[in-house]
Amino acid sequence: MFDYRDCTVKTDGFIIRVLASPIGPPEKTTQEMPLMFSRLDGSLRSSWHRLFVLLAVAFVFDWAYRHQAVADEVFQPNPNPPTDGRVGSNYTPAYAVNQVQFWHDFRPEVVNKELAAAVKHFGISTLRVYLHNINFSEEEDVFLVNIESFLKICDRHGIKPGFTFFDDCHRHKGIYLDQPTEPIKGYHNGRWAACPQDRDRKEEHLAKFKAYIQDVIRPYREDSRVLWWEIFNEPGRSEFSQRLRKQGYAWAKELQPTQPVICCWDDSPETDIVNAHNYSAKFARWDHQAELNRAKGCVFTEAGTRWYAPRVSNGEPCEVIHWLTTRKKAGKYVPGVYLCWELMVGNSNCRWYWGTKHGTPEPTVPWCGLMWPDATPVSLAEAEAIRRWTTGKSQAMFFDDFQAVPLPPTRPGWKAYGESVAMGSNVLTLTPGMKMIAGDPEWEDYVLEAVVMLQGESGNAGLVFRANDPGEGHDEMRGYYVGLDTKKLYLGKMNNDWQPLATFDLAKLDCKVVPGVWNQIRVAVKGPRIRVWCNRMHPSVDATRGLRIDYTDKQDPIHAGRIGVRTLGVEAMFDNVVVLPIAALPGVAE
């Protein structure tokens, strides 16, 4: 498709016109640019005229050359797309129930805060961001202005987003611009807006969908701030969706963007990069998708999420980072990934698993989302693993995600006490009465975090900190222990016996501790003060942000020691153990 541009310069008695085609397909770009000089009266009557003409010609040729170069940079599928090695997540601000609300009620100060935190805690360099034709159709000018504002915020933080136009997931009816919806407790993505809505899935509306795609892409077709354009997320098999998918790709490519145009599922003629989704911990399948078409490369625009009983994992972030690290060390291709479905644990309600019933209590650990609405990490272990990969820098004094061999009790950095220990499904499993100790006896102030899963109704399991002189018995050590059963959270001191210090009634929480489900425990020790967070929930039901115990040990406090894990009367699983300097804890100054 040729787009001839007339560049006309008038002088006294002369016209210079240059015809060029800077936006044509590469095989059709103009190889020569004819100049047509039309003399209107007389000859060039002065040196000044001749100089002006030469400068005008030079200017126009330079303009055409630069635009021709851009045309030559139109994205073509290749083995190393610009998504390679990047880590990001899907993004809707925590306040928004869906993408329609996001763009209609655009809050730049919130977006700026959340993106700044994403870079600080995770080193994120890309986001997958959904658009909606409702915003384009009903408030086009506002919509386009907000996209530009969003891009400026992203650019400020070194983030390159990709934009998704259509989506067949979740609510196909009842979404309107002027009818905001409240989140529905327990309903995974309960207010997410399928795009287009069923009322717009008509043949006569295809023209407006073409305008939607092209009017969004056109101003940014050469803009390096945009990483890619995605036509359709998880299109269904309906004739309309398949037609829109194919036509949408063609409409985007018509504009010859310098960014790739992608589409689900995996590989197809309508995607410039293999566009993979995976929500499992079976990484042989991930390997297959990554190598599906090496001529195009691969990006996982949905790369796993956390666990939900009875699965130990659905491809949680630490496991995905381990998979990337393993591939890199082996010299294999390393795709880009968008982790844990979404960046924010917000009003989209994706903290609940697929298919949970309306009214289901809050989960003990969010199924999706890397950060809470206050822009702090859900998991400090995940933040450490992701940040190591994205920046090459580590804050951790100790970190173990139990991904690599050898198995305990010979695992480097750990010493086991008790009868038996096992490791399976990339987690640590301890039998009743076991403990494992790691770290440095000189450690004083620090934060310790891990997840714990009880395997039975009785007994308790948890974390050891400031531990000294450990022995074989379950109470044989001098230090502190925080653990939980299905009803209570316990904090105590051990000096070869048990001294209770504080408890918290877990039954008061909306989330419930049950066997076979992960629980998160975080401990911060600074001097004699001990703070314990357990199973933090969404702020709508958790005003204390997960803080359950705040205790100061005034009687012979233990000021330094190792860390560990422990069980009593129950088999338990542990994962993602991390120790960080106390200064790395968000809100530590409080």
Q: Could you give the CA distance from residue 156 to residue 499 in angstroms, rounded to a whole number?
A: 52
For residues 366 and 351, the answer to whether their CB atoms sit within 8 Å is: yes
- 63 pLDDT higher than 50: no
Helix (H, G, I), strand (E, B) or coil at 190: coil
Cα–Cα distance for residue pair 93/107, rounded to 1 Å: 9
Instruction: Report the alpha-carbon angle 403-404-408, nearest 5.
Output: 100
Domains for the chain: give ranges and CATH numbers.
Answer: 5-72 (no CATH), 87-391 (3.20.20.80), 398-584 (2.60.120.560)
Q: Cα 147–148–154 angle (5° rounding)?
A: 90
Alpha-carbon span 129 to 424, nearest angstrom: 36
Q: Is the model's pLDDT at 380 over the cut of 90? A: yes
Residue pair 518/307 in contact (Cβ under 8 Å)? The answer is yes
Query: CA–CA separation, 172 vs 267, rounded Å?
Result: 26
| pLDDT-derived band at 422, boundaries 50, 70, 90 | low
Residues 111-142: tens digit of each pLDDT:
999 999 999 999 999 999 999 999 999 999 99
| Mean of the per-residue pLDDT values of the chain | 88
AA identity, residue 291: E
Q: What is the pLDDT of residues 451-492, one digit of tens each?
A: 999 999 999 999 999 999 999 888 899 999 999 999 999 999
DSSP conformation class of 508:
G
The amino acid occupying position 360 is: T
d(CA 490, CA 500): 8
- pLDDT reading at 17 higher than 90: no
CA distances from 347 to 154, 188, 350, 351 (A): 22, 10, 8, 9
HEC letters along 389-401:
HHHCCCCCCEEEC
- Nearest CA-CA partner of 241 in 229, 251, 233, 253: 233
Q: Which residues of 281-312 are buried (b: 16+ CB within 10 A; e: fewer)?
A: bebeebeebbeebeebbbbbbbbbbbbbeeeb
Question: Is pLDDT of 38 > 70?
Answer: no
Burial 115-126 (b: 16+ CB within 10 A, else e): bebbbebbbbbb
Strand partners, 468: 478
pLDDT level of residue 68 (50, 70, 90 thresholds) = very low
pLDDT band with cut points at 50, 70 and 90 for residue 310: low
Phi and psi dihedrals of 55, rounded to 5? -65, -40
What sections of 47-89 are H helices per DSSP?
Answer: 47-72
Closest CA to 226 of 163, 308, 312: 163
- Interval 398-421: pLDDT, tens: 999 998 776 666 788 899 998 766
**What confidence tier does 65 reach under pLDDT thresholds 50, 70, 90?**
very low
Query: Which residue would you say has higher pLDDT here, 331 or 13?
Result: 331
Four-point Cα dihedral 63, 67, 72, 74, nearest 10: 170
pLDDT score, position 59 = 52
Is the whole model's pTM more than 0.75, yes or no? yes
